[in-house]
């Protein structure tokens, strides 16, 4: 594959990750409207995170098997993106909660496929040099997640409705869908010559690393999705913002998140993952502690939103790339790791909706803080495992 082909394919993955961010970024600001549309409470509407993520788990699991076997991998991702675009069109038309849950379940399937597929194919294309490109991929997600609530706020300001915001995002996503469907030059499987017994042996050997990497993504994604999707409701419930300002708060989080990921592309070229993640965890935990300590200040809330987004930004890509340095990353192994992402998007966002309804909005930063703290502990375990693998590899090479 030529360098131009690598860059063209990388651009395609970046574009569909922007669309992934658009779909996620609109959810938080739209939650109260979707609850009203379907006659649901906040606790009940929070179940969309659970159902969507169940679809994401299934999509992630299926994608590993498909991408390891189907040569037209770009067509697979393009069809997944087409389903996501259709979901943006029909979501604001759901007349009751059960129809909405069916739609968001279906939306989870392509999300899981796009998430696993784009990350895996980038690793296949760029190999050991994939770190900055993975960070760039997740910068693209942050860009989409920032644009969505910004579009939402502007459409409301101009007299439109949340339905119009969904349809505007679908219009943005549609040409990207066509680009991906007809993108030539799908990457070849780097481990194509391994037989099934070799792959099964490889899977058994690296299973502990896979499990820890899954936990890493589980706690991180739970923190990110919960904060990004519930900050809008948190600000409204505590009377810290009106609907437009709350939408801008959501945009502020994703803008800071996007800037953090843009910077992390350069940081990944210069610093080790341990250094990057140490700073990220300290900054994220510190900002959430500030939110808990001073909960009634709009100024402090803005500082927390910006700081949390910035410091959380490098965690996913850095941790995933770090895990990828310890294993032969087939699409199946990648899908197993990214199942942690899918499960993470289920549990904490869903529990947060229930906690806000029963105990109040103050519970949200507490839950995110605990999740991020556990995330840091899991990373310490992942570093220990990585050193063991490297020591074993050096020993085997010496023999």
* pLDDT of 128 strictly over 90: no
**Tell me, what's the pLDDT at 49?**
77
**Tell me, what's the pLDDT at 200?**
52
C-beta separation of 269 from 323 below 8 A: no
Q: H or E element: which one contains 69?
A: helix 47-69
* pLDDT of 201 strictly over 50: no
d(CA 328, CA 331): 10
In the chain, where the domains are located: 3-183+197-398
Structure token pair of residue 114: 């796009």
d(CA 279, CA 364): 23
Q: Which fold has domain 3-183+197-398?
A: Growth Hormone; Chain: A; (1.20.1250)
**Tell me, what's the pLDDT at 203?**
58
Mean pLDDT of 161-177: 93
Tell me the whole-structure pTM to 2 decimals.
0.77
3 state DSSP class of 330: coil
d(CA 182, CA 190): 22
**Tell me, what's the pLDDT at 146?**
82
- Of 369, 63, 16, whose CA–CA distance to 223 is shortest? 369
pLDDT in tens, 96-121: 899 999 999 999 999 989 998 998 89
Q: Nearest 10 degrees: CA dihedral of 259, 91, 118, 224?
A: 40
Mean pLDDT of 343-358: 87
- Of 215, 214, 209, 221, whose CA–CA distance to 328 is shortest? 209
Computed over every residue of the chain, the mean pLDDT equals 86
Mean pLDDT of 374-399: 75
**Tell me, what's the pLDDT at 279?**
95
Structure token pair of residue 334: 């990648």
């Amino acid at each position: 594959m030529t360098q131009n082909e690598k860059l063209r394919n990388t651009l395609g993955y970046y574009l569909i990750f922007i669309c992934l961010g658009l779909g996620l970024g609109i959810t938080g600001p739209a939650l109260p409207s979707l609850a009203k549309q379907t006659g649901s409470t906040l606790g009940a509407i929070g179940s969309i995170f659970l159902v969507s993520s169940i679809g994401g788990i299934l999509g992630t699991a299926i994608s590993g098997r498909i991408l390891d076997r189907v040569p037209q991998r770009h067509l697979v991702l393009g069809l997944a993106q087409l389903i996501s675009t259709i979901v943006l069109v029909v979501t604001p038309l759901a007349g009751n909660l059960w129809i909405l849950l069916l739609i968001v379940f279906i939306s989870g399937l392509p999300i899981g496929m796009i998430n696993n597929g784009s990350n895996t194919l980038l690793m296949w294309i760029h190999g050991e040099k994939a770190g900055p490109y993975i960070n760039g991929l997740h910068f693209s997600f942050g860009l989409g997640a920032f644009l969505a609530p910004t579009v939402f706020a502007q459409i409301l300001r101009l007299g439109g409705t949340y339905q119009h915001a969904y349809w505007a995002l679908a219009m943005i996503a549609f040409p990207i869908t066509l680009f991906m469907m007809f993108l030539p030059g799908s990457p070849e499987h780097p481990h194509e010559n391994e037989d099934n017994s070799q792959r099964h042996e490889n899977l058994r050997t690296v299973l502990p690393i896979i499990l820890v990497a899954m936990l890493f993504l589980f706690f991180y994604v739970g923190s990110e999705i919960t904060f990004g999707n519930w900050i809008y409701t948190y600000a409204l419930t505590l009377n810290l913002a009106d609907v437009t300002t709350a939408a801008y708060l959501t945009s502020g989080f994703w803008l800071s998140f996007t800037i953090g990921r843009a910077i992390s592309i350069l940081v990944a070229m210069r610093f080790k993952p341990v250094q990057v993640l140490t700073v990220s965890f300290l900054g994220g935990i510190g900002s959430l502690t500030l939110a808990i300590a001073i909960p009634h200040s709009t100024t402090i809330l803005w500082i927390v939103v910006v700081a949390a987004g910035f410091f959380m930004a490098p965690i996913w890509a850095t941790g995933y790339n770090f895990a990828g340095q310890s294993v032969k990353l087939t699409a199946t192994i990648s899908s197993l790791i990214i199942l942690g992402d899918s499960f993470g998007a289920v549990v904490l966002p869903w529990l947060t909706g229930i906690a806000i309804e029963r105990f109040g909005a103050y519970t949200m930063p507490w839950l995110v803080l605990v999740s991020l703290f556990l995330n840091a502990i899991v990373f310490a375990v992942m570093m220990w495992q990585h050193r063991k693998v490297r020591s074993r590899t050096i020993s085997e090479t010496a023999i």
